[in-house]
């Protein structure tokens, strides 16, 4: 009852709370986590599920941002970005990721295009990690008609963004097919062709890139209902070697969606499940966080989803 009441909470001022296990956020439904480590804080960006209980579909109008210094005490900040902030789009605040470059913060999101078929990717920019974020281009950076194998309206979703050690930035995204392209240094334009990521068995969606000790890691949602799998490579261009499952099916949610970060010497796996609404989990999702552990050879130990 508490979660249902809290479902439509829209923050206009900072509110601090302590997390007591998973889900981390219990006053509203949060999905598709992306986390940014910046200076001495973690910024957690999430979607916001507000589907009425009788509707089995995603209803998502805005995103949320939370910050923490210790992974326990969280502050929720004012709504940083809404679907309606993209004038060319017509709604659906789906998954995205924020990255910092030269003191600016770029947020890549999936959203439904107003005039081109299907989902598109927009990019918003802000001067600080809490926003407010504003549309950085006035148009989509990726649209459904730019990817040749576009068959479904949601195949250009779930952008992840990564800046390599040489300064080259990459945007990766997709459903069913995983795509990637270089970004220009301005972070708002693609720089070169859209390529396909090969070698990911049963790729569904939700790619996330990170790098550790000379290995690139590409984690992603596989099958449906979704588990989180991952591949490793010595180059961002591949070849990718599939390494297995990190996280099993997300309880009563058909989707899972992950972010992987290192903060103050610890590794974290951030994901969502349907723990707050057992009978409507796929559309009332909640962000959870567990520790992530690597083996000596760089492979990742399974994360056991907890609800405690």
- Which active-site residues does the annotation give? 32, 205
**Nearer of residues 76 and 158 to ligand FUB, judged by Cβ:** 158
If the CB atoms of residues 52 and 298 are measured against ligand FUB, the closer one turns out to be 52
Q: How far is the CB of 227 from ligand FUB (least distance, A)?
A: 13
Going across the sheet that includes 259-263, the strands are 259-263, 266-273, 286-291
Q: Which is nearer to ligand FUB, 168 or 176 (CB)?
A: 176
Q: Which of 161, 178, 181, 206 binds ligand FUB (CB under 6 A)?
A: 206
- Nearest-angstrom CA–CA distance, 182 and 189: 9
Q: Whole-number minimum distance, CB 295 to ligand FUB, in Å? A: 27
Q: Does residue 95 belong to the site contacting ligand FUB (CB under 6 A)?
A: yes
Question: Based on CB atoms, which residue is closest to ligand FUB, 55 or 70?
Answer: 55
Q: Which member of 24, 140, 157, 231 binds ligand FUB (CB under 6 A)?
A: 157
Shortest distance, position 135 Cβ to ligand FUB, whole Å: 19
The reply to whether 47 sits near ligand FUB by the rule CB under 6 A is: yes
Is 255 near ligand FUB (CB under 6 A)? yes
Residues counted in the chain: 308
Q: How far is the CB of 167 from ligand FUB (least distance, A)?
A: 28
Size of the site for ligand FUB (CB under 6 A): 13
205 touches ligand FUB (CB under 6 A): yes
Phi-psi region of 214 (alpha: psi -120 to 50; beta: other; left: phi over 0): left
**Cis peptide, bond prior to residue 239, ω within 30 of zero:** yes
Which of 24, 31, 270, 287 touches ligand FUB by CB under 6 A? Answer: 31
Q: In the complex with ligand FUB, which residue's Cβ is closer, 16 or 55?
A: 55
257 binds ligand FUB (CB under 6 A): yes
68 vs 258 by CB, closer to ligand FUB:
258
**Contacting ligand FUB (CB under 6 A), which of 42, 44, 65, 110?**
110
- Quote the least distance from Cβ 185 to ligand FUB, whole Å: 27
For residue 158 the two structure tokens come to 């779930």
**Contact residue for ligand FUB among 45, 94, 106, 271 (CB under 6 A):** 94
By the 8 A CB rule, do 32 and 65 touch? no
Q: How far is the CB of 221 from ligand FUB (least distance, A)?
A: 6
Residue 60-89 contact track with ligand FUB, rule CB under 6 A, x = bound: ------------------------------
């Amino acid at each position: 009852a508490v979660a249902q009441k809290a479902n439509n909470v829209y923050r206009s001022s900072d509110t601090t709370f302590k997390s007591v296990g998973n889900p981390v956020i219990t006053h509203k439904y949060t999905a598709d986590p992306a986390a940014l480590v910046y200076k001495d804080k973690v910024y957690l960006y999430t979607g916001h599920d507000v589907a009425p209980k009788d509707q089995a579909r995603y209803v998502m109008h805005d995103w949320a941002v939370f910050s923490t210094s210790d992974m326990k005490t969280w502050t929720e900040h004012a709504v940083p970005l809404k679907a309606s902030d993209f004038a060319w789009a017509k709604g659906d605040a789906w998954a995205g990721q924020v990255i910092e470059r030269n003191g600016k913060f770029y947020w890549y999101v999936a959203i439904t295009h107003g005039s081109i078929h299907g989902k598109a990717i927009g990019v918003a920019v802000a001067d600080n990690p809490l926003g407010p974020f504003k549309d950085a281009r006035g148009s989509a950076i990726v649209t459904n008609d730019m990817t040749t194998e576009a068959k479904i309206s949601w195949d250009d979703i779930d952008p992840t963004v990564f800046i390599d050690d040489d300064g080259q930035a990459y945007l990766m995204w997709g459903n069913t097919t995983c795509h990637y392209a270089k970004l220009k240094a301005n972070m708002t334009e693609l720089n070169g062709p859209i390529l396909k990521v090969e070698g990911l068995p049963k790729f569904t969606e939700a790619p996330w890139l990170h790098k550790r000790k000379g290995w690139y890691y590409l984690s992603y949602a596989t099958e449906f209902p979704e588990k989180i799998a991952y591949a490793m490579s010595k180059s961002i261009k591949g070849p990718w070697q599939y390494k297995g499952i990190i996280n099993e099916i997300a309880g009563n949610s058909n989707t899972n969606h992950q972010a992987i970060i290192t903060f103050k010497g610890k590794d974290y796996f951030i994901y969502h499940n349907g723990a707050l609404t057992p009978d409507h989990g796929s559309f009332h999702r909640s962000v959870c966080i567990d520790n992530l552990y690597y083996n000596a050879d760089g492979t990742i130990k399974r994360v056991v989803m907890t609800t405690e």
